[in-house]
């Protein structure tokens, strides 16, 4: 560092009263001239001086520092129009825009200390855009300056951290260290994932380490379309991305142009969480164990259903009801938090390659197709039940359909097993005590309302209030423990998906209006949704349906009554822990789909509005006209000692003029 300072002293540093100062920043910048950019423009010269001084053991990277207050950050995210005051970027200095893939660190400055909160929000908004838009980004950095006070920001998927502020006027050596760290850092140190590269067209090449026949080799997959991207206003979280991919060479050249496409899911998981491949493997082992006990009451009961248990066992046919996992990879972990942090939560990268490109049941084109796939989905749930597992996140996006050609029948595939658990009422294991998980549209009544369905009082008594009631009082009754997720809950979600399909997904205004009162993305459910399961289906529901679908109202009412009565029976019999007590529920759902199949020729061709289709990776997934279900998972881990981007709720920054600057 001393050698570096001596080489820079003649160009940008000056000694004053025994202390070093930057030539252009002998005193803190002020708002005397009414503008900010000229005040901070000398930072470019300081950066250039640092860049030309060799650093032992380090190679100069392609980054340069720019002060660019009117330059838009170019993005694939619709509606993102952030502008930053400065940045470290590998972009051409003459470029009129900034590409998120080339932005290593953003900078925001203000001369007015009263604008510090606004400054922070603008920096966070830009960081959110970068983390959402660039697949390769594991973490990113930011710098905010208020007059001469510099604060450094670090953002990852598990947490954000900020430094103590320092004065770059009084401590120019520290600013030199910061700038030097960016100018001589490797791509990986800057937060770029070495397992993902970006080609000239903007598509990504994922490297997946794989072991085949005892030999380890890398496989490469090129993204060809975006199937699902869960955009967020937050930096922390899962940030799940789902791509349509083809296998390729490291260069990006496709291995076989006529070869099949696959699906790649890229997500951040809790560090201690089992991966989807591990969970599926455990479920398969438990299914095989179940097959060996042919005297199990479930085996005997389900042998009479179609397909029979013995049919599913033969040649491992049961596996066709689950999506095929070709390869998977656990990648980098997020950095540990500060030792002073109360929580030590870390996340890990997880990439999994699925063999089949499927359609979500929420994207199928007709009611008949949905009914066919849902009738197969209950077979997959039956298998999980036999294995002793509950799925806990049955939704229109997790039940998939695959077919070999447009003339082939759909085959249901159950996916997204990461929240699946072995069933147990013991709070020390299994699903007991877990927070709510799932999609509110389809979440089971008891889980969403946090209470068991119990028999209603047979009759209301005339209310009466006496003085003794007021003086003696009544102790509030403690709320009981939240319901434990059980096997019937998974089945109930199938019912909700069917109701949602024939109301919200049809091109029939009365149906959509009715459905929107029921299906809302709220963890505190509206009474309309709770009552829809507890009370008989109303005439209003039948009247809102399009003509061909009205004949489904009666079967759905019969199934609703069956679901409700089954919950009541579990409470009166106190048999929630008895695995065999859920046999009737599975048989009832099988009977429902067998029954509605008889009239399917009358309503099966009813066309549905499609939420989305896979689109090219260079464009955005279009926003649907109808309300789409949204997954709301575990409560977020907030940390009072960490400046978390989620807590700030940053909004997209517009132009300088919009915020009163010239």
Q: How far apart are CA 521 and CA 532, in angstroms?
A: 16
Which one, of 609, 615, 651, lies nearest residue 627 by Cα?
Answer: 609
Q: How far apart are CA 512 and CA 518, in angstroms?
A: 10
pLDDT at residue 516 in the model: 93
- pLDDT for residue 10 is more than 60: no
pLDDT at residue 251 in the model: 94
- pLDDT for residue 353 is more than 90: yes
Q: Label residue 33 by pLDDT band (50, 70, 90).
A: low
Close Cβ partners of 457 (under 8 Å, ≥ 6 residues apart): none
Specify whether 329 is located in the same domain as 419: no
**Residue that terminates a domain, selected from 191, 210, 237:** 191
- pLDDT for residue 343 is more than 60: yes
The CA-based angle 237-238-240, given to 5 degrees, is 140
Specify whether 120 is located in the same domain as 199: no
Specify whether 230 is located in the same domain as 279: yes
- pLDDT for residue 181 is more than 90: yes
The predicted model scores a pTM of 0.84
Specify whether 114 is located in the same domain as 172: yes
For helices 276-291 and 367-387, give the axis angle rounded to 10 degrees: 70
pLDDT digits 0-9 by tens, 295-319? 899 999 999 999 999 999 999 999 9
Residue 180 in domain: yes
**Residue that terminates a domain, selected from 163, 191, 219:** 191
Return the sign of the alpha-carbon dihedral for residues 512, 513, 514, 520.
positive
Specify whether 233 is located in the same domain as 305: no
* Kind plus residue range of the DSSP H or E element containing 68: strand 64-74
Higher pLDDT, 475 or 133: 133
The CA-based angle 399-440-501, given to 5 degrees, is 50
Specify whether 262 is located in the same domain as 307: no
Overall domain count for the chain:
3
Average pLDDT of the residues in 362-391 = 97
Average pLDDT of the residues in 379-389 = 98
Peptide bond into 307 cis (omega under 30): yes
Percent of the chain with pLDDT over 90: 65
Specify whether 442 is located in the same domain as 532: yes
Average pLDDT of the residues in 416-439 = 74
Percent of the chain with pLDDT over 70: 83
Residue 238 in domain: yes
Mean pLDDT over all residues of the chain? 86
* Kind plus residue range of the DSSP H or E element containing 504: helix 487-504
Which one, of 397, 448, 408, 429, lies nearest residue 577 by Cα?
Answer: 429
- pLDDT for residue 344 is more than 80: no
Higher pLDDT, 404 or 612: 404
Give backbone dihedrals phi and psi of 296, rounded to 5 degrees, phi first.
Answer: -60, 135
Structure tokens at 136: 């390769």
> Residue 270 sits in which domain range?
195-292+324-357
Name the pairing type of β-strands 64-74 and 97-99: parallel
Residue 317 in domain: yes
Of the listed ranges 89-103, 159-173, 417-431, 602-616, the one predicted with least confidence = 602-616
Termini Cα distance of the chain: 38
pLDDT at residue 229 in the model: 72
What is the number of alpha carbons within 13 Å of residue 90 lying toward its C-beta? 14
- pLDDT for residue 429 is more than 80: no
Q: How far apart are CA 600 and CA 579, in angstroms?
A: 33
Specify whether 62 is located in the same domain as 204: no
Three-state DSSP class for residue 380: helix
Specify whether 397 is located in the same domain as 534: yes
Of the listed ranges 94-108, 200-214, 330-344, 512-526, the one predicted with least confidence = 330-344
The CA-based angle 213-280-402, given to 5 degrees, is 90
Q: Label residue 211 by pLDDT band (50, 70, 90).
A: confident
CB-count exposure of residue 253 (10 Å: 0-12, 13-18, 19+): exposed
Residue 21 in domain: yes
- pLDDT for residue 426 is more than 90: no
Q: Tell me 659's DSSP state.
A: G
* Kind plus residue range of the DSSP H or E element containing 527: helix 527-534
Give backbone dihedrals phi and psi of 267, rounded to 5 degrees, phi first.
Answer: -150, 160
CATH (domain of 588):
1.10.510.10
109-124 burial: b if 16+ Cβ within 10 Å, else e: bbbeeebbeebbbbbb
| C-beta of residue 150 within 8 angstroms of C-beta of residue 166 | yes
Query: What stretches of 427-466 show up as alpha helix (H) in DSSP?
Result: 445-449
CB-count exposure of residue 506 (10 Å: 0-12, 13-18, 19+): buried
Rg of the chain on CA atoms, in Å: 29
Residue the block writes with tokens 């000694």: 15
Specify whether 85 is located in the same domain as 183: yes
Three-state DSSP class for residue 71: strand
- pLDDT for residue 371 is more than 90: yes
Specify whether 349 is located in the same domain as 368: no
Average pLDDT of the residues in 183-203 = 95
Q: How far is CA 390 from CA 55, 418, 423, 468, 579, in A?
A: 57, 11, 6, 49, 12
Structure tokens at 190: 């800057």
Specify whether 169 is located in the same domain as 258: no
Residue 636 in domain: no
- pLDDT for residue 369 is more than 90: yes
Name the pairing type of β-strands 347-354 and 262-270: antiparallel
Residue 652 in domain: no
Residue 67 in domain: yes
pLDDT digits 0-9 by tens, 229-241? 766 778 888 888 9
Residue 281 in domain: yes
pLDDT at residue 613 in the model: 38
Which one, of 639, 605, 629, 660, lies nearest residue 493 by Cα?
Answer: 629
Average pLDDT of the residues in 591-606 = 97
């Amino acid at each position: 560092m001393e050698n570096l300072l001596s080489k820079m002293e003649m160009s940008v540093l000056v000694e004053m009263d025994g202390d070093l100062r930057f030539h252009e920043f002998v005193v803190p910048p002020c708002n005397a001239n009414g503008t900010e950019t000229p005040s901070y423009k000398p930072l470019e010269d300081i950066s250039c001086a640092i860049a030309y001084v060799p650093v032992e053991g380090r190679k100069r990277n392609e980054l340069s520092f720019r002060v660019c207050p009117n330059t838009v950050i170019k993005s694939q995210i619709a509606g993102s129009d952030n502008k930053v005051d400065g940045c470290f970027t590998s972009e051409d200095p003459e470029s009129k825009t900034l590409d998120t893939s080339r932005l290593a660190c953003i900078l925001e400055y203000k001369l007015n200390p009263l604008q510090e909160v606004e400054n922070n929000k603008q920096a966070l908004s830009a960081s959110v855009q970068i983390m959402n838009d660039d697949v390769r980004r594991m973490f990113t950095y930011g710098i905010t300056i208020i007059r001469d006070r510099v604060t450094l920001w670090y953002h990852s998927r598990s947490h954000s951290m900020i430094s103590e502020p320092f004065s770059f006027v009084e401590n120019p050596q520290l600013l030199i260290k910061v700038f030097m760290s960016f100018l001589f850092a490797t791509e990986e140190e800057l937060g770029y994932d070495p397992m993902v590269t970006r080609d000239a067209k903007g598509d990504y090449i994922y490297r997946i380490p794989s072991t085949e026949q005892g030999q380890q080799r890398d496989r490469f997959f090129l993204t060809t379309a975006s199937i699902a991207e869960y955009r967020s206003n937050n930096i922390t979280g899962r940030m799940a991305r789902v791509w349509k991919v083809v296998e390729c060479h490291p260069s990006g050249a496709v291995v076989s142009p006529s070869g099949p496409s696959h699906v790649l899911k890229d997500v951040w998981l809790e560090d201690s969480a089992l991966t989807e491949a591990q969970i599926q493997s455990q479920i398969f082992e438990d299914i095989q164990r179940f097959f060996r006990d042919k005297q199990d009451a479930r085996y005997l009961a389900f042998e009479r259903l179609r397909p029979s248990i013995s049919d599913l066992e033969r040649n491992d046919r049961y596996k066709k009801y689950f999506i095929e996992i070709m390869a998977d990879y656990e990648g980098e972990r997020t950095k540990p938090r500060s030792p002073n942090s109360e929580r030590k939560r870390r996340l890990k990268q997880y990439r999994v390659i699925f063999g089949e490109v499927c359609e979500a049941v929420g994207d199928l084109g007709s009611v008949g197709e949905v009914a066919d796939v849902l009738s197969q989905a209950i077979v997959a749930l039956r298998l999980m039940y036999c294995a002793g597992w509950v799925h806990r996140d049955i939704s229109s996006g997790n039940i998939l359909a695959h077919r070999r050609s447009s003339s082939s029948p759909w085959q249901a595939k159950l996916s997204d097993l990461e929240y699946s658990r072995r069933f147990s009422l013991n709070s020390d294991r299994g699903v007991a005590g877990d927070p709510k998980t799932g999609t509110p549209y389809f979440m089971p009544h008891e889980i969403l309302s946090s209470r068991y369905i119990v028999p209603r009082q047979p009759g209301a008594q005339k209310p009466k209030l006496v003085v003794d009631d007021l003086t003696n009082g009544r102790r509030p009754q403690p709320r009981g423990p939240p319901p434990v997720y059980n096997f019937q809950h998974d089945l109930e979600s199938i019912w909700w998906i069917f109701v949602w399909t024939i109301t919200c997904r049809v091109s029939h205004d009365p149906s959509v209006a009715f459905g929107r009162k029921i299906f809302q993305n709220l963890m505190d459910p509206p009474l309309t949704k709770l009552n829809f399961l507890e009370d008989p289906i109303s005439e209003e529901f039948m009247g809102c349906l399009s003509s061909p679908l009205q004949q489904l109202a009666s079967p759905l009412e019969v199934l609703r009554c069956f679901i409700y009565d089954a919950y009541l029976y579990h409470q009166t019999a106190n048999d929630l822990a008895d695995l065999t007590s859920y046999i009737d529920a599975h048989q009832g759902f099988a009977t429902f789909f067998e029954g509605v199949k008889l009239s399917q020729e009358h309503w099966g061709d009813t066309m549905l509005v499609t939420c989305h289709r896979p689109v090219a990776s260079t464009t955005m997934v279009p926003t649907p006209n109808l309300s789409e279900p949204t997954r709301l998972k575990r409560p977020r881990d907030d940390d009072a000692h960490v400046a978390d981007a989620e807590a700030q709720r940053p909004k997209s920054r517009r132009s300088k003029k919009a915020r009163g600057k010239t």
